Chain A
Amino acid sequence: AQKITQTQPGMFVQEKEAVTLDCTYDTSDPSYGLFWYKQPSSGEMIFLIYQGSYDQQNATEGRYSLNFQKARKSANLVISASQLGDSAMYFCAMREGTDTGRRALTFGSGTRLQVQP
């Protein structure tokens, strides 16, 4: 079974509008963390935002926010006021067993976002 599922291979959004990128996850571990990374066409991986399984509030970082619905096992990324520079691949990732010290990330297949002027 897929641990991280990103069902949107590609998304389009108009500049200055908000966009939501979907991510669902599967784990039986009560302690886990969810990450979003951005990969522009240049190829580097850029960390955007983190949400811990015990966090009471949704994470926010500037124009990025995470819509965390624990019961539904979803951690959707919301980008507000899209900019042309937001065009990139976006990956959702999970780290399980944060209590046990496991450090590796499992990545989803990614969503390619294109921001149109």
Chain B
Amino acid sequence: DAGVIQSPRHEVTEMGQEVTLRCKPISGHDYLFWYRQTMMRGLELLIYFNNNVPIDDSGMPEDRFSAKMPNASFSTLKIQPSEPRDSAVYFCASSRRRAGIYNEQFFGPGTRLTVL
């Protein structure tokens, strides 16, 4: 089975430009997570979806960030306008609800975003 797929793997853009990050979760997984990793703040949750519905977006930094999940196999994270402080690695992860307590999250390879 293919793992979580993210594109692009690297993105370099200029301040003020719109950036769209894409994620395809593992087939059959009904939870999708967006995390951001920076040296200063570490790994932090931005938003997560269950069955395509946003459940918790409290980690989304500000209105410049938006995330959508139009169907079970695709999600986007958009930054408009981008700023240099948005430079980070953005991870998408997915997990499957199943009997028992734990559901490990499977991470994609990440998108390294650089905003100049």
Which B residues touch A106, using CB under 8 A? 45
Q: Is the CB of A44 within 8 A of B109?
A: yes
Return the CB mask of A67-111 against B: 1 if under 8 Å, else 0: 000000000000000000000000101010010001111111110
A-B contact count (CB 8 A): 55
Residues of A within 8 A of B (CB): 31, 33, 35, 37, 43-47, 50, 52, 54, 91, 93, 95, 98, 102-110
Question: Quick one: which of B90-116 are within 8 Å of A by CB?
Answer: 91, 93, 95, 101-110, 112
Interface of B is mostly: strand
Interface residues on B, range: 20 to 34
Return the CB mask of B24-51 against A: 1 if under 8 Å, else 0: 0000000101000000001111001010
Q: Is the CB of A104 within 8 A of B91?
A: no
